[in-house]
Amino acid sequence: MLSEGPRTFETAKDVILSAHNSTSRPDQIQFYDRWAQTYEQMKRDGFERFVGVDGSKGMLQHARDSGLYQDLKLAMLGDQTLPVPADEFDVVMIVGGLSASHVPVKVIRELWMAAKRGGLICMTTRSNHDNLEYKEALEGEMAEMEAEGLWHRIDVTHVTEWERGVTDQERGYIPGWVYVFQKL
C-alpha cells in the first residue's frame, strides 16, 4: 500500500495501468525491470509512505531489504484483519493473493476500508480454470460494493498472458485480470 503526498491519485493510476498496456511477457518483464530502477522516484514524486503486508516472513524480509517500505506487517489476510488504519492510504494494492487457495473474497472490503475517500484500490486475479469460481465470486462482491455506493470501477483490464501455467492443463501462459476501483 502506498500513501501519496501532495499529488493526486492520477499519478498512481497511470503507473498501475501502464503495467498492463502490453500483454507480452517480454514487454511486461521489461516494464518491471525499468520500474524497479525508479522506485525511489516515486518518493520524489510525492509518495511518502509504503506499507507492506504479507503472511510470509521471507517476503517481508525481502521487502525490508529493499529499503522502500517504512512499515511491514506480518498477517495472513482472511485469517487476520488487515493490520492497517482505516481511511489511511491513497493507493491500496493486492497482487497475486486473490485466489481460492490464498485470500478469501471478503478481504476486498478490508482493502476498501484502508483506502482514503477518493483513493484507488488495485487488485489482480488469475482466470485459469482452477480460479474461475473464485473470480466469479470476487466480481460478484465487487459489483455488490459498487451497488452499495462504496466505490466505482475505474478500469478492468484482461491480460491474456498473465503468468506461466504450472499444471498439466495449463500449457504456456494463463490469463488474468487487473481491477482498479476508486473509493467513494
Fold annotation for 2-183? Rossmann fold (3.40.50)
Give the number of residues written for the chain. Answer: 184
- pTM for this predicted structure: 0.75
CA gyration radius for the chain?
Answer: 16
Residues 143-173: tens digit of each pLDDT: 999 999 999 999 999 998 888 777 777 778 8
Contact 180, 16 (CB under 8 A): yes
Sorted by sequence, the CB contacts under 8 Å of residue 39 that are 6+ apart come out as 66, 68
Break the chain into its structural domains and give their ranges. 2-183
Residues 94-127: tens digit of each pLDDT: 988 898 888 999 999 999 999 999 999 999 998 8
